[in-house]
Structure 1
C-alpha cells in the first residue's frame, strides 16, 4: 500500500508539473521545431561514464523515509542516451517533449515521444535517450528507493542505438 501511495504522489507531482508547463511564463529553448519546451531547469550535465552525448539531470523529489520515491527530469540533446542500466524496483518514464528511443534488453528499440508512459520492470536492463535529430525530455520516477536506485552498466553501442526499425 505504501508503494502505491508513493507512486500516486509522484504521479500527482508530474501531472501538476506538466500543467504548469503550459504557463506562458515558462521559457522555450527557441522557436526551432526540433528544440524542446523546457519544463524544469536543464540541470547538471550527466557523466561521460553514464551517458553518451549531452544529457542533463535535475532531481525534483529526493527519496526519503516517507516518500521512498525519487523523481527527476532528464533532458537529452539529439543523439544523447543513457548507458544500459536497471533499477531494483523498476522505473517509470513520462515523456514530456521530443522524440527518443527506449529498449529493454532482448527486445527491439522502440520510438518514444511526448505523452508516452514507459514502465521499466525491476532489475531489467534497459536504456533510453533522444533520437538522432530531435532531443528528448523525460520525467523519471524510481519507487521503493530503499531497495536501491540504479545499477549502471556499459555504454549502448552505436550499432544498437541506430537499430531503430
Structure 2
C-alpha cells in the first residue's frame, strides 16, 4: 500500500484499472479549465511494479520525476530507466508506457497537452511479460 510520506502534494485518488496495472494514485494539480483547456498537470504515484497501460497523447506529454525509480518505454524501443530528477519529453502520438520499478515506488508530475478536449488515448495493458523484459536488460 502506498502511503503519503515525503511528497509535497497529496497522494490523490486511486487510478482506474482501465488505465493502470497495480496500485496507482493520481492527484490533479492544475485542471484544464484553469488554463484555457490547453493542458492538465497531475502527480502520479506508482507502487512498486505498477504502471500505465500503453497510451498516446495527441500533443505530447512531459514527465518530471520527483521520487523513486521506474521505466519509460516507447513501443518498439528499449525501455529507459527514469529516476528522481529525470525529465521525459514524449512526442505527440507516440505509443508508450511508464511506471515504477519492481522494488521502488515512482512519483512523477505529468503535464499533458489537450487537443479537441482530449489529452490521452488509452490502449492495451502492458503485459507482465513485457514488464518483466525491461528488468532483464
Higher relative strand content? 2
1:76 aligns with 2:51: no
Name the counterpart of 2:32.
63
**CA contact under 8 A between 1:98 and 1:135: conserved in structure 2?**
yes
* d(CA) in 2 for partners of 1:145, 1:92: 15
Change (3 A) 1:162 1:140: same
TM-score (normalizing by structure 2): 0.90
Scaled by the length of structure 1, what TM-score is found? 0.75
Q: Which segments of 5 or more consecutive residues in structure 2 lack a partner in the other structure? A: none
Specify every segment of 5 or more residues in structure 1 that has no aligned partner in the other structure, as ranges.
Answer: 1-27, 30-36
Bigger radius of gyration, 1 or 2?
Answer: 1
Q: 1 or 2, which has the higher helix percentage? A: 1
Question: Quick one: which of 45, 70, 88 aligns to 2:14?
Answer: 45
Report what 1:24 is aligned to: none
Q: Are the equivalent residues in 2 in contact too, given 1:68–1:146 (CA < 8 A)?
A: no
Root-mean-square deviation (CA, aligned residues, Å) is 1.7
Q: CA deviation at 1:112?
A: 0.4
The total of aligned residue pairs comes to 132
